[in-house]
Amino acid sequence: MTNFTPIPRRPRHDGWTPAKQAMFIQALGDLGTVSRAAEVVGMSESSAYRLRRLPQAEDFARAWDDALTAAHASCELVALERLLQGVTETLPLPDGRRASHQRPCSDRLLITALLIRERERARQDRRKDRSARRRATRTPAESQSESAKC
């Protein structure tokens, strides 16, 4: 998964240790949801979002975004495969035997999933833009030179 520098935290037995941060990012990439990834590491979803909002969390936030992007890309591949191949179901017959049945996936469901993913990509792009704007803020020396012009 993505390499990142963990956010330095005061050591606590129930806190976000560097190991928990790394496990969270790995779980996020595997599971694709913040709530489930937080559950895997024994932390709350809200604490994960608080951790992400810390000023020194840029690298963690980047790893978070990368993990979600990878998880969602995997989901998109599954959706595409289902769209192209359909889904094979094994159905029980009254006499106890089993029969395979090929069933096409719902086009409406796939379209909905792809629209949701597109919205998520747009949200991530906005998040990255905000982060870039924060990094590009002026230094104190630049602010002083601006005020001297007035």
Any domain includes 118: yes
Contact 114, 77 (CB under 8 A): no
Q: How many domains does the chain have?
A: 1
Q: Could you tell me if residue 73 is inside a domain?
A: yes
Other Cβ atoms less than 10 A from the Cβ of 150: the count is 4
Contact (CB, 8 A) for 98 and 90: yes
Question: Over the stretch 34-62, which tens digit does the pLDDT of each residue have?
Answer: 999 999 999 999 999 999 999 999 999 99
Residues above pLDDT 90, as percent of the chain: 39
Asked if residue 135 belongs to a domain, the reply is no
More reliable by pLDDT, 106 or 48: 48
Which pLDDT does position 83 carry in this prediction? 72
The pLDDT value recorded for residue 78 is 80
Residue 104 lies in a domain: yes
Q: What is the pTM of this model?
A: 0.59
The reply to whether 80 falls in a domain is yes
Dihedral (Cα; 123, 125, 130, 134), 10-degree rounding: 150
How do residues 117-130 score in pLDDT, each as one tens digit? 789 889 888 988 88
Residue 40 counted as domain residue: yes
Query: Which domain covers residue 60, as residue numbers?
Result: 18-130
User: Quick one: pLDDT band at residue 3, thresholds 50, 70, 90?
Assistant: confident
Q: Per the domain annotation, does 23 fall within a domain?
A: yes
84 domain residue, yes or no? yes
